[in-house]
Amino acid sequence: MGKSRQWSDEVAKMSSEERLDDAQRRINEVQIDLQAVIFQHECNQLVCFSTHLSDQIKGNEAALAFNMFRDNMMRGEILPLCAMWDAAAENRNSIPSITMLLDDRHVLDLLVAKAVKNANQHLPPKLTGWALDISLRHTEKVVSERRSDVEQAIQQSDAVRRSEEQVALKKFRDANIAHALDKETKQNVPDVNYQALTDILSRTEPIVQSLWLGLAYTSRNWDQVHSMGKVAAEALWRNCSFVEGQ
């Protein structure tokens, strides 16, 4: 029995409270991982896809070392992004692990109940009459939308995990990780298409956003994270230069 199937049986035995708590813990880890991937992505834009550094490389030996460096920078983006989409398992903080925990009507009902309670606790204390009624109705509307967003994220995550781009990236990752020693894993490995990687990243961001907002009542502007990563990457790499040795 595979890890995913085995854990699925264990998840089915968990209470809705346990499943929701576990999903909340995991989404906090995933959003941190996603921020790191975005920063790596912005670094790779300069290191791997601009000529600022490559034009400074002189000699075949230096070019070989630089190409190895760029390959490792790329893998630094591919490996954690693939890990986010690994099949659900108890020891994996992956998006499929989170959606498996959430994909149950009773769990989603509890998510809504907790979100309403949390929102109502932050209502102004002196609200009465029609003002209170309007606030409560607005809370119910917003929470209902959050539930719909989570349900949509569950569906979208399954589509991403099964997509041709993600399957290809996973095959590349599996063939290049340190313990991939069997010959079968290393056969028919697809070339990495950076546009496909970028597409998977762009599809990951709104899914994590919906899950994090639904579970933790907070969110992050991923465009802003990209901007921060770009500024940090340029501050480092635009100020790097190679000095020819004696």
pLDDT (tens digit, 9 = 90+) per residue, 178-194? 555 555 555 666 666 78
For residue 243, count CB atoms less than 10 angstroms from its CB and return exposed for 0-12, middle for 13-18, buried for 19 or more: exposed
Q: What is residue 130's predicted lDDT score, i.e. its pLDDT?
A: 44
Helix (H) or strand (E) holding 96: helix 95-102
Q: What is residue 223's predicted lDDT score, i.e. its pLDDT?
A: 93
Q: With a cut of 70, list the residues of the chain below it in pLDDT.
A: 1-3, 119-140, 142, 177-192, 244-246
Cβ neighbours around 191 below 10 Å, total: 7
Q: Strands, DSSP E only, in 107-168?
A: none
Q: What is residue 105's predicted lDDT score, i.e. its pLDDT?
A: 93
Residue-range domain boundaries for the chain:
3-108+143-237
- pTM to 2 decimals? 0.85
Q: What is residue 114's predicted lDDT score, i.e. its pLDDT?
A: 85
CB 47 within 8 A of CB 237: yes
For residue 94, count CB atoms less than 10 angstroms from its CB and return exposed for 0-12, middle for 13-18, buried for 19 or more: buried
pLDDT (tens digit, 9 = 90+) per residue, 61-106? 889 999 999 989 988 999 999 999 999 999 999 999 999 999 999 9
CB 174 within 8 A of CB 185: yes
Task: Single out the residue of 210, 202, 199 nearest to residue 164, CA to CA.
Answer: 199
The CA angle 193-198-200, to the nearest 5 degrees, is: 95
